[in-house]
Structure 1
Amino acid sequence: MANITHRVSQQTYEVETPPADASIETLSEYYWTKEAEPHAARRKEILAKHPEVTKLTGHEPLTKWLVAMVVVLQFSVAYYLRETNPFTLKFFALAYVIGATSNQAIFLAIHELSHNLLFKKPLANKLFAIFTNFPIGIPYSASFTPYHQLHHKFQGDEYLDTDLPTRFESIVLLNVLGKVFFATFQILFYALRPMFITNIRFTYIHLLNVVAQILLDLAMVKMWGWNSFFYFIMSSFLAGSLHPCAGHFISEHYVLNKNNVPRRSISATEKENVSPQLLPAETYSYYGSLNLVTWNVGYHNEHHDFPFIAWTKLPELKRIASEFYDPLPQVDSWCRVLWDFCFDDVNTLWCRVKRPGSERHGSRIRGLDKN
């Protein structure tokens, strides 16, 4: 198995993987647990042993200039393709190689902005995110921020962590064709799923995001034509489809391959508390070369442990606290993750750690985005 490696000896699970033709009850259930998510405890231990990591926190001024370069690159390619038929190999190749890679970087720049890691003031980060959003083609940045805050604050919560697949998705997309469909259109699942699970307050930042994006799109269509706008849309779609950089969506929190410990058959409504001895890791880091174009998002355990450390300093965090991170299971290839997720029977949308939530949490999200 190539995509997950253990740097030190880990516990061995004395269980057998269920066959692909096992009953739906055997194959289809999440890792339900009442254990706390691992990041708060590890952060506390790291700070106790390495208090110097607090010096790594704070915004990274360099990032805004790099983001601006990516935005300019996308507009330049859109202008270049203004008279090129979208249904040509040239258009698709540029959209896949340059456009998708750039827009994935833009998605993840908005991720950095959601943690206020480009500017000191939160409002400056929100406004710059609206500018960063332009090559995506549709308004996205204002909604992403509060949903992503929920992902960090309530990781694994069945109601508040909208990164988790729904039971409907997990049932309908269980087989190979379903998983290939999910991997191909995963950007749509991540964009639309939150609206069906948790409501957030619509603020003036959302309105500004929508108005600015629509005005930009209309101006671009009027000056350059529809082909340029379609380049933005195709780039965004491909960025979250079967693209090497899109592997991070699945690699970050899905329990894949050897870490996927088969569960006993339980009822669909039972919230089983998986034993800590059988509970797999639920966040996975990747340290490969694609981090160079994705703001080190592969350092995902490090990011969840210290979400206020900017991308440029995450490798230093790993170096300082290597005894905490080296033993964790790691992802070696985002491309391999996509392949194994689609074609390995044991890997499904059920392979996530979930925690029983409560709709009472809904009241807690009202103050998440006040600007």
Structure 2
Amino acid sequence: MWVSPAKERPSTRAGSSTRTSLPESSSDQFFWTYTEEPHRSRRQAIIKAHPEVTKLCGPEPLTKYLVLAVVFLQITCAYLLRNTSVLSWKFLVTAYVIGATANQNLFLAIHEISHNLAFRSPMANRLLAIFANLPIGLPYSAAFRPYHLTHHKSLGVAGLDTDLPTALEAFFFDSLLGKTFFCTFQIFFYAVRPMFIYSPPFTRIHWLNLIGQFAFNYALVKFCGGSLQPLYYLLCSSFLAGSLHPCAGHFIAEHYFFSNVKTGGTEPIKEKALESRPNSDIKSRERIPKSESKNPLDSLDPPETYSYYGLLNLVTYNVGLHNEHHDFPAIPWTRLPVLHQIAREFYEPLPCHRSWVWVIWTFILDKDVSMWCRVKRAEGGRLVGGGSKGSGRGGEAITATAVQDDEGNGWKESEIQAL
């Protein structure tokens, strides 16, 4: 059930514990729904139709070697730029073309590792994530994991899914200049926003991430003769990776609602294929009765996640296959294309993006898409990584049940592995 913000919203669901309803606000323009997030339903349908997809789950050995190569690449670039001015064209071009692409790759390596998809050992995955974090310049891998896994378990749930913009953000940046500012500095929004929503427990992994990162930064500066340029290069690379960079388009492309864009651009693969066929083929296809072209998605909830199947997936761990990833988080990046081919009847009818550059361009310039274009839920979901009820901050958290009564410790490691 989809409702507009001005309509009445139920505060409880049958069989659930009492929950605080959202405050009514005519200024709230998010897309509110009371349906279950679609990925669980589609996952069950795909497994029923293609039980062999479960064999695709498990670690990908290639990941650790790619992480090692990219970390070495970034350290090498940082060292070679030790005597180069930050404002020189050589420094800036290298930071944008190589550095930002490499650090975006490392961001997404950490994303992959957060699902335990590099090693079978959870601790080995934690340590690899800390290692992948080194060229990023600031410690974040340990903090990212519980927030990201909660995003999977609580997709769209206000107060739990920290990928969602707050109403305050959407209101203040609802303009051409506002959206440009958001896209330019979105890395800061994704870094700071979670701290105002809720705080997961601080663990020994967080300490290791923190100490290891600053020890690396100090050693790098000392090794380069006391020059701060290498550290500036890494930090600049991280900023540009989450700014107006082609690969940064995935942040917006994954879950923002683009269906209102009147110029198109998010057509399903099947529709794109029809556009490239001769008119005679299209006309003959149009004459097929609807009863004969049954879609396996007809009985499932509408999509709120968008995939992208372009070339930039080659440097971003196939994060563009985002519907596939949310449906099966335990399938590593190398096997997501195989999942897509096996279950293509489930994925080809879904809207998908043609270009991440187009996504950024359209998000900024098109008045029909903005930070309000997100699907939100007032109920459901679970906090991953422990925590206590009422631990949320920033206003929205009071509207969601952060931890269910019988699951106060968040997800267990076995649940995370079974995703």
Question: Normalization by structure 1: what TM-score?
Answer: 0.86
Matches within 5 A, 1:91-110: 91-110=91-110
Residues 152 and 259 of structure 1: is their aligned pair in 2 closer, same or farther, counting only changes over 3 Å?
farther
Q: What fraction of aligned residue pairs are identical, expressed as a percent?
A: 55
Q: CA deviation at 1:346?
A: 1.0
Distance 1:306 1:113 in 2: 14
Q: CA deviation at 1:100?
A: 0.2
1:347 and 2:347 are equivalent in the alignment: no
Q: CA deviation at 1:281?
A: 2.5
Q: CA deviation at 1:258?
A: 3.5
Residues 310 and 26 of structure 1: is their aligned pair in 2 closer, same or farther, counting only changes over 3 Å?
same
| Structure 2 equivalent of residue 338 of structure 1 | 360
State the SS of the aligned residue for 2:260.
helix
* Aligned 8 A contact 1:255 1:281 in 2: no
Q: CA deviation at 1:220?
A: 1.1
| Structure 2 equivalent of residue 75 of structure 1 | 75
* Aligned 8 A contact 2:59 2:119 in 1: yes
Distance 1:280 1:365 in 2: 31
Residues 127 and 353 of structure 1: is their aligned pair in 2 closer, same or farther, counting only changes over 3 Å?
same
Q: CA deviation at 1:219?
A: 1.2
1:219-272 CA-to-partner distances (Å, cap 9, x unmatched) read: 112221200000000000000000000000000000015369xxxxxxxxxxxx
Matches within 5 A, 1:290-305: 290-305=312-327
1:308 and 2:310 are equivalent in the alignment: no
| Structure 2 equivalent of residue 254 of structure 1 | 256
Moved over 4 A (4+): 25-28, 362-366
- The partner residue of 2:401 within 357, 360, 364 is 360
State the SS of the aligned residue for 1:258.
coil
Distance 1:167 1:142 in 2: 27
1:300-328 CA-to-partner distances (Å, cap 9, x unmatched) read: 00000000000000000000000000000
Task: State which drifts further: 355-364 or 124-133.
Answer: 355-364
| Structure 2 equivalent of residue 286 of structure 1 | 308
Q: CA deviation at 1:27?
A: 7.8
* Aligned 8 A contact 2:261 2:368 in 1: no
| Structure 1 equivalent of residue 141 of structure 2 | 141
Structure 2 letter corresponding to 1:91: F
Q: CA deviation at 1:360?
A: 3.4
* Aligned 8 A contact 1:53 1:317 in 2: yes
Distance 2:221 2:323 in 1: 41
Q: Give the superposed CA RMSD.
A: 2.0
* Aligned 8 A contact 2:403 2:410 in 1: no
Q: CA deviation at 1:361?
A: 1.4
Residues 209 and 172 of structure 1: is their aligned pair in 2 closer, same or farther, counting only changes over 3 Å?
same
Q: Kindly name which structure, 1 or 2, has the bigger radius of gyration based on alpha carbons.
A: 2
Task: State which drifts further: 199-208 or 355-364.
Answer: 355-364
Structure 2 letter corresponding to 1:228: P
| Aligned residue-pair number | 331
Runs of at least 5 residues in structure 1 that lack an aligned partner in the other structure:
1-24, 261-275
State the SS of the aligned residue for 1:133.
helix
Larger relative contact order (C-alpha < 8 A, sep ≥ 6)?
1
Structure 1 letter corresponding to 2:34: K
Runs of at least 5 residues in structure 2 that lack an aligned partner in the other structure:
1-24, 263-297, 380-398, 414-419
Structure 2 letter corresponding to 1:361: A
Question: Normalization by structure 2: what TM-score?
Answer: 0.76
Structure 2 letter corresponding to 1:70: V
State the SS of the aligned residue for 2:138.
coil
Distance 1:137 1:368 in 2: 29
Distance 1:89 1:280 in 2: 47
Distance 1:191 1:142 in 2: 13
Q: CA deviation at 1:365?
A: 7.0
| Structure 2 equivalent of residue 17 of structure 1 | none
